[in-house]
Structure 1
Amino acid sequence: MNALRNPLFRRLLAGDAVSSFGDSALYLSLGIWAKELTGSDSAAGLVFLCLALPGLFSPLYGHVVDRVRRKPLIIAMYALMGVTVLALLLVRTADQLWIIYAVALAYGVTFSVPAYGGLLKDLLPSDEAASARATLITVRQGVRIASPVIGAGIYAGLGGGALAVIDAATFAVAIGFLLTMKITESAPEPAERNAMTAGFRYLWSVRLLVRLTIAETLFMATVGLMDTAVFAAIEHGLSLPASFFGVLTTVQGAGSVVGGLVAGYLVKRLGEARGSALGYAAFALGAFAFLAPSAVLFLIGAVIYGAAIPIFSVALGTAQHLYVPARLQGRVGAAIGMLTNGTQSLSIAAGAALAMSYQISYALIVVASLGAAVAVTAGRVPVPKIIPSIADAQ
């Protein structure tokens, strides 16, 4: 069933789209702001480090998420962020650079709190899980094609303060949508000993989830190399200016929208394992095209791997939704995120430190993507029993 037929999901989607627009318009401009204030590339890079650091504490956030009602938690986070971003109005000189970093850290925490998974579990019947995940990814990717450009334009024309006010307004709109939603939530889980590790323990007990997580972790172990390799490939392989990266990002985003539109259907049709394998194999094909010294093939490759990402992302998200109890969604989501995002961060650092040729980087990415496709499908893995949501009984 298409999740868009669900009126509650449509409201959640609308609020998420508005807040995603404000988020990506602002936080991608924070690096530009830091660079202009200091003239330092390192100062700009620290913004993205601040965005990533809070992810190291994901298990703690997951522990909290499973012990509170998710809708009030999300509303509280949005309200807090709406106030926090307004602190950027105080930034005038490099002496206030710490405010930019503080806002970036706050964003990093907000992005790392796995509250949406639990809310979706309570909100959606099981047969809408794949469609909902695919629709969310499609809308988020569609928004992020335009929002960085619009954000940069607002920053250049009106300054970072105006961008902060707009972002605060988008949080207010998202809260408004949430307040109109009447959701029956599962009861928060009481505190218990060793509860923080329950997400890892449950993940390990479900073989399909383990396979999907191992595959994505293997994939993430090399995909971070792309952050460094892409600029070398543009300069040395294509003999084009670095500004071509903007074109590439837009094309990739368009591919992700297309992939999101079909991901839900493919995952429901093929199942989470085979759907995931298809996504990784397609990503390998797209990355392989980057080895050719042709701008046309480069852009075709970007469309292909952009379309591939939603497929394996929806497969893993759908499996988590279907096979994890409502009050373990936070901790299991945090465990998966810590393994996959942590590995990606290491690969980004490795790409910057090793400075290997872009051909080797892309070759490793191709091998790892194909390895992920094999890892998730090798041998027979039983499909777990679906754990119903509250919405299934309504």
Structure 2
Amino acid sequence: MATVTVPTEQPPSPPPSPPPAAWYRRAARGALADLSPLRDNPDYRRVWAGQAVSSIGQQMTAVAVSVQVYELTGSAFATGLVGLFSFVPLVAFGLYGGAVADTVDRRKLGLIGSAGLAVISLVLAVQAAAGIGQVAVLYAAVALQAGFFALGSPARSAMIPRLVPAHQLPAANALNTVSMNLGLTVGPMLGGVLIGAYGPQAAYLVDTLAFAGTLYATWRLPALRPLGDRKGRASVLDGLRFLREQPNLRTSFLADLAAMIFGMPRALFPALAVTLYGGDARTVGLLVSAPAVGALLGALFSGWVGRIHRQGAAVLAAVCAWGLAIAAFGALRNLWLGLLLLAVAGCADTVSMIFRNTMMQVAAPDEMRGRLQGVFIVVVAGGPRLGDFESGAVASLTSPVTSVITGGLACVAAALLLAARRPAFLTYDARHPTP
């Protein structure tokens, strides 16, 4: 008779043990922004801290100027002219400042730019305290501020590859984005509190004092003269010709322009706040601040960017993510989901900016970095303003919602077209950078 074997019951497997606490700590460190550029490079640490403080002060001044102009005129159009008076000097002096930064000591040029900004902020504080009440004075001050900023900014940006090693540049650019977005989020809030309590002169005075950090940090730097035997003047046209002949760098600029021109619905926020959400000025404030909050969070959790070598592909992926988030924002009717999508778009913009800056700093030779940073300022300043015009024009022909959705989709289409026209950009490798 055959025997029947009865399988013995196996004891249940023990549940998997949770990862040790050290694993969680390593994962957290890998996700958060890489602080090694601050830890390892004292000169960069001082420059970063000074720029973070002065960025907050500059945003306080921007709010104070708008408040003053509106109080004096009661006109939204007159307040909007503040942007025009800053745009023209930004474009003109951005290109010129980039050319100068390639021929002189960048440390000295950075000092001149920061000192000029501090003096203008002091002048604004004096005029506000004295009750001069002349809009022309405010417009002139804004134009001079934009000129000094555009003159010194290319030099400050072109310094970074001389202050940190190449492998830390992605982390350094992420940290620069943190300081910039701290200014965009904290500055207006602090400015509003100070203006409400003590008047616009308080915001101007704090901004003036904030420049002390930037001036001190720049003063402590070693001389940052041009490398090699470069002499004479650097031509703006030479910089533009260089950019035209370098397909990877040119594509990175075109990708940013596509995002800003087609996918920037900033000018439509007041109309959307009323028609889409039934809100008021407070809703507009939430819409304006949401991308900056997302950008700040993206920079704070940027520890992974240093491990990405295909930076061209990352730029186009980030631009597509921006466009899709903007299109989805236009398609929805829920305010909180809309704010979340705007924050996602801001985060994607941060990723794109980190990699575009890194490509420009590594792939471009030192003698061209100033001029390329000047072009970068023009793109950053001009792109959103062209985007305001594009979104407003489409909205006037269709509707604000249609303008937002089609703009976001056009941004994605432009990124895909760039990928098709320039496949080598997708394979750009940060370990073997080619401009």
| Common topology (TM > 0.5) | yes
Amino acid at match of 1:238: Y
Do structure 1's residue 85 and structure 2's residue 125 form an aligned pair?
A: no
Which residue, out of 372, 377, 380, partners 2:424?
380
Percent identity of paired positions between Structure 1 and Structure 2 = 22
Do structure 1's residue 366 and structure 2's residue 411 form an aligned pair?
A: no
Residue by residue, what CA displacement relative to the aligned partner does 1:245-267 show, whole Å, maximum 9, x if unpaired? 22233433221112113446336
1:131-210 to structure 2, matched below 5 A, reads: 131-182=171-222, 184-187=224-227, 189-191=230-232, 195-210=235-250
Match of 2:88 in 1: 53
**Runs of 4 or more consecutive aligned structure 1 residues displaced over 6 Å after TM superposition:** none
Match of 2:29 in 1: none
* C-alpha distance in structure 1 between counterparts of 2:318 and 2:183, whole Å: 22
Unaligned runs of 5+ in 1: 388-394
Report the Cα offset of residue 130 of structure 1: 0.8
Match of 2:14 in 1: none
Structure 1 residues 231 and 95, CA gap change in structure 2 (3 angstroms): closer
Please say if residues 81 and 107 of structure 1, whose CA atoms lie closer than 8 Å, have aligned partners that are also in contact: yes
* C-alpha distance in structure 1 between counterparts of 2:246 and 2:231, whole Å: 23
Structure 1 residues 112 and 360, CA gap change in structure 2 (3 angstroms): farther
Match of 1:392 in 2: none
Do structure 1's residue 331 and structure 2's residue 362 form an aligned pair?
A: no
Which residue, out of 268, 274, 297, partners 1:229?
268
* C-alpha distance in structure 2 between counterparts of 1:149 and 1:127, whole Å: 35
Residue by residue, what CA displacement relative to the aligned partner does 1:332-353 show, whole Å, maximum 9, x if unpaired? 2223443454343223234345
Report the Cα offset of residue 279 of structure 1: 1.2
Do structure 1's residue 310 and structure 2's residue 355 form an aligned pair?
A: no
Please say if residues 267 and 314 of structure 1, whose CA atoms lie closer than 8 Å, have aligned partners that are also in contact: no
State the secondary structure of the residue aligned to 1:380: helix
Please say if residues 191 and 203 of structure 2, whose CA atoms lie closer than 8 Å, have aligned partners that are also in contact: yes
* C-alpha distance in structure 1 between counterparts of 2:72 and 2:368, whole Å: 44
* C-alpha distance in structure 2 between counterparts of 1:312 and 1:376, whole Å: 15
Which residue, out of 391, 394, 404, partners 1:351?
391
Match of 1:40 in 2: 75
Answer with 1 or 2: which has the greater Rg: 2
* C-alpha distance in structure 1 between counterparts of 2:399 and 2:144, whole Å: 35
Match of 2:148 in 1: 110
Structure 1 residues 256 and 347, CA gap change in structure 2 (3 angstroms): closer
Which residue, out of 197, 211, 215, partners 2:251?
211
Please say if residues 311 and 428 of structure 2, whose CA atoms lie closer than 8 Å, have aligned partners that are also in contact: no
1:245-256 to structure 2, matched below 5 A, reads: 245-256=284-295
State the secondary structure of the residue aligned to 2:177: helix
Please say if residues 87 and 382 of structure 2, whose CA atoms lie closer than 8 Å, have aligned partners that are also in contact: no
Please say if residues 66 and 82 of structure 2, whose CA atoms lie closer than 8 Å, have aligned partners that are also in contact: yes
* C-alpha distance in structure 1 between counterparts of 2:377 and 2:224, whole Å: 26
Unaligned runs of 5+ in 2: 1-33
Report the Cα offset of residue 95 of structure 1: 5.0
State the secondary structure of the residue aligned to 1:243: helix
* C-alpha distance in structure 1 between counterparts of 2:261 and 2:350, whole Å: 18
* C-alpha distance in structure 1 between counterparts of 2:57 and 2:401, whole Å: 36
Please say if residues 37 and 94 of structure 1, whose CA atoms lie closer than 8 Å, have aligned partners that are also in contact: no
333-342 vs 314-323, greater mean Cα deviation: 333-342
Do structure 1's residue 269 and structure 2's residue 313 form an aligned pair?
A: no
Match of 1:72 in 2: 108
Amino acid at match of 2:428: V
* C-alpha distance in structure 2 between counterparts of 1:46 and 1:264, whole Å: 40
